[in-house]
Structure 1
Amino acid sequence: MDEIEEKYKVLLVDDEPIILRSLKVAIPWDDLQMEIVGEARNGELALRLIEETTPHIIISDIRMPVIDGINLMKEVLPKNSKLVFIFISGYGEFEYAREALRQGAFDYLLKPIDHDELVEMLYRAKTRLDEQKENDQMMHSVQMLSMLARERMFAEITLGNARPLEHLKWLENSELESGYFMAVVQLDDYSVLTGQWSVEEKRLWLFAIRNIVEEWSLEHGVLTVFPFHNGEWILLFPGSLSASRRELGEHLITGIKRYSKLSCSVGISRCTQGIDQLSTVYPLAAKALYQRFYYGLAGVYIDEETTFAGNTEVKYPKELETSLIESIRTLNRNQMSSLFDELALYIEAQAIPKEIAERLLVEMVVVLYRHFEHLNLNSDWSLHGLLSKLHHLVTLSEMMSALKEEFGERLDQGSKPVNREDTRSSIEKTKRYIESNYYKDLSIEEVSELADLSISHFCTLFKQITGYTFLEYVTHCRMEKAKDILQSSNVKVYQIAPLVGYQDPRYFTQVFKKASGQTPTEYREEHAKQAN
């Protein structure tokens, strides 16, 4: 007679009765070999039920009165490291979700709850618990621990900012040290799509694509996946899969098309080694990706050593590209014009045939266009239109004149005072938005999108105009509001913390003291004396 499989015990913790009811009814607990052993409306009651029921899995809201989800987890995990925590998070609670993963959470899902997604998580949780039964060891891989924490870090390093490495010594022996290659996935006609979507539709579409890409990545051995620019995702594959690069890319495109009905293209880099090489291979994968503009077809494009078919002695002028990028960054039209002249001389000196010269120019153009895009200087400027114009010109002189004119006009627009005023207006708008929403879990992506600026450009301009970094200004607004509450009410300090955007009262006290030189209690007492 088969032994009856013991069910895993599940505790539900949420202060919204409707969510508790939906979780009990909508999830096939028997099929999962799980049973609900208790329900709690807050973290304090949950602590008592955990002692009484000894659950294997806890599904908890991340924000709750009395004791929030993260502090609940901090309280119980030291006593039972095998507990599986799954958090329910609001859309704007990225920092809380990331902190939860850092502290040992298994996973999280966003409201409104997708029950199919939760079932999938629970199957994975069951697999993990089954493995713990066999070897009594908790799975604690880098991949699982840091899904959200590593996204920002990888993006920063890909942009060439190595500062996150100073605080991430645990990554020195990560999977990236063994060799990997990068795939850049981008939705085709993204600018057209975003013109058709509302802000909410855009958020939902990007979230849906992200889920598709992440699920595909789990099934195909991807080391990590993270969003980079809007409409673009980066996947890192182990070098051992290098021989299957094209097949992997085609399979990914098919999967995205099947589930979203949207087409995309994939650019894939050569293999490299070491996390510090992310900023080196990204331009290679991105440049490969943009080959679709002169082939005219969506698909998979793989970076190879830079030579041109039919004339293997023609090398791509990387030094000129670097100098042209610098002229864009500094808005120096004269320097750009001179560099285009140098490029023309290079092509003439090599006696490069027209077809190969055009391919070289197109490759250069898509790289430069991308840098204009990063600086938000390409509004109402179609890359497809520019490349089409280039293709219909006959002589090298005509092509170079067209490039000087097109790129020069964009540099002039970026230099105009009216643009600076528009930019200042955008920054002022984001300041007002932060001042009205300081208590929320604001992300720099959300606010830079409101300003219609790239993240890097927004950071630079926000600091120049306000004197604060984005995070400094959010903190400033929160501290000013906290001071108002402390002076005008008797609300307890631990209750003030969530009112100004901090879930952990102790952390709020630390930030307040650093900002004002006093604890919240000391500040209140001092101003009470002054009032008397």
Structure 2
Amino acid sequence: MYNVLIIDDEPMIREGLRTLIPWEDFDFNVIDTAKDGQEGFEKYKENEVHLILVDIRMPRMDGITLIETVRENDDQVQFLVLSGYADFSYAQKAIRQNVTGYLLKPVEEEELIEYVKRIKKTLDSKQASNELKASSLPDSRQAFLKELIDSNEDVSYPNLNRDVAGLGLEAKNYQVVLIKCLNQTNIDLEEARLRLTDYIEETWGYLFSRDHYLCILLKDIRPSLVHYNELYELVTNHMKGTNIVMSVSHVFPVIRDIGVEYRNTKARLDDAFYYKESKFLRSDSELFLMAKDQKDNEIHINEFPIHTVTERLYFALEALNEQALKNEIMEAAQTMINMEYSEEQIKTSFIRLLSMVLNKCSVNKPELSETLSDLTADLHKINDKTSMYVLIDYIYDLLFKVISSQNVGDQEGQLKKLVDFIHRHYHENLKLETLAKIFDYNSAYLGKIFKNHTGEYFNTYLDKIRMENAKTLLTEGMKVYQVAEKVGYSNVDYFHNKFKKYVGMSPSKYRRKTP
């Protein structure tokens, strides 16, 4: 913000100029006013002033005298001279005293705004130049590189080659490396930069900080995995206890392109959670899971089907099937990626999903209450995972403990578990193909060994379980359509035919017949 001092012997003009334009919108602040040149000069000495609006004719000390007095020791402050029409020739003398311009009373808002914009550009340029001269060479490089990154590619930079040479930034090719500190909210980037500067600039290039990242401009470094690994190890060794991920840009021959490469590299780093790599990312790095085009799918998902996925994961745990467990976790992750979930949404959804799965297990497996309680307490650690790959591994390891805490047994034991599973889930949409996948069998083979174990084909056995349960529900007075739905039949007529074939009478007759 630049400070403005208004000097005029007419109170209405002083206050009018204070409110004529929204000064703060142009990064200016009217710090004070004065009624004549003498008072104005005293207030100028007491404050840091960047712009003075001064009237030509005033008592005690006029505007010309004030300008000449200030100019004896200060050639930086900007002046805008105020004058009446009759004083124009007098105002020309002021222009020879390095005055930016003059405004004819009454002052027009548009004209003042144009001058203010022009003066701001001048002050900005002088400020940048002064900062560059006042800082050390590393700070000058940092300021220069930040300016290049922020500048529009279409804007010319007439002194680019001179500045590049003067700052020691000449090279045949460059690369940008961005470093992000993971799960660290108290990292002082400037302190980290100062700690690393000597090690980086001795061999690699120039280190600076930007946004929330440490940045390195590599000079004439041949791109290779060996070099990237060396750089990664160097940074981690000097930032002990800090988990980092790096992103490396393309090689570019012209330093003016640093802005484009910085933004592309930053975008990749911001999405680091979704990539396979855990150390450094490049333009050819692969995402852990790619979003699949849902145009070809029959069903378009608008909301994550958490209840359906809960059931499938629970079935996999019931079947003690490790592969099915892995498949279901990956399918859940893929669904979230397809839905363009953010990192936070993915973690939140998995915590909720696993809470529901473990809660379902605790209801049906009270013997595992201690294990399930410990696993539930560990769900919050999902928030600490820095990549999708690590997150999926953690979720699998966590749920696998449910399987490993149970006795898997031989094939006979597996078939007993399958039968028990059917008795507990007969009301759901059970299919032999689905159960074969869950219990890790070929469906045809499972059908064969199931018949050998039970003496009946799978569908026959399932219908029998459903019908026996339907008989019980009918005797309790439940309506036929309610019973059909309760035992797993969405079509009442189909249930009616099944029941009549199995029992020998219709459901309604059986309900009336039962005392």
Q: TM over 0.5: same fold?
A: no
TM-score w.r.t. length of structure 2? 0.30
Highest CA radius of gyration, 1 or 2? Answer: 2
TM-score w.r.t. length of structure 1? 0.30
